[in-house]
Copies of this chain bind each other. A is one copy, B any other.
Amino acid sequence: MSQPVQPNQSLLEGIEILLEVARRDEAVRVRPLARELGLTPTRLQRYLGTLAHAGLLKQNEDSSYGVGPGIHALSAISLGASGLARRAMSILPAQCRKDDLVALGVTWRREVSYLYFHSPGEESHLALEKTAGYPAEQSAIGLALLAQQEDEQIERLYAEDAAALLPRLQEIRDQGYARTLQPDGRITLALCVGSPAIAALALARQMTEVELPAHLSQLQNLTRMLETP
């Protein structure tokens, strides 16, 4: 985890850019994205060109860049390597009530991506939508994972927005779980999976304050199952 000798900056930055593009719904254009990321257009263009050459991105006719055919290979290989997705698929559908909302997600930068997502009334289980733009600080999963980071890291990530966030994260650390309120009145509880945390599991249900500890302990059981290989 510590800084290695001669870290390859091209590789680090290139991966950042790949994920930045993959995370978005629409294809990106060179100069606007360059401004947003604080890179020169030349530099970004050469990264995008390289990733397109590798097949991970592809350039459209209007010269914007979106994900390319290679992303499926990347997805298949990383999925196989992840293990967590495999465990989620075999454990979660069986262990959860049909009217629960159950989600397993990770944070990247300030946003949440899902490995598993089950909402009541839907049949599909897999991580599905491009959920680009779902802000970590509004999601129970995001909050649970942010609370694992040092205050210093949060300040670097959220800059002036950190002030409002830090007390909330401290509260989460103290009580050991994150909690948000859905628009429909359901309560969402979230716990981290693994230590150090690599993902977080969330459960949303109708519940009263009195019932909360019982639901929490069920969630704890589920995370423990996900942690055991």
- B-binding residues in A (CB < 8 A): 1-8, 10-12, 14-15, 19, 22-23, 46-47, 49-56, 67, 69, 71-82, 84-86, 89-90, 105-108, 113-115, 123-132, 194, 196, 198-199
Integer count of this chain's copies in the complex: 2
Contact A199–B72 (Cβ < 8 Å): yes
Q: Chain B residues with Cβ under 8 A from A81's Cβ?
A: 22-23, 67, 71, 75, 130
Minimal Cβ-Cβ distance residue in B for A6: B46
* Residue ID in chain B nearest A114 by CB atoms: B76
A123 to chain B, nearest CB (A): 8
Give Cα distance in the complex from A12 to B18, angstroms: 12
7 sampled A-B residue pairs with Cβ under 8 A: A4-B53, A19-B77, A22-B81, A69-B198, A73-B107, A75-B82, A76-B105
With a CB–CB cut-off of 8 A, which chain B residues contact A194?
69
- With beta carbons under 8 angstroms apart, the residue of B7, B72, B125, B130 that contacts A115 is B72
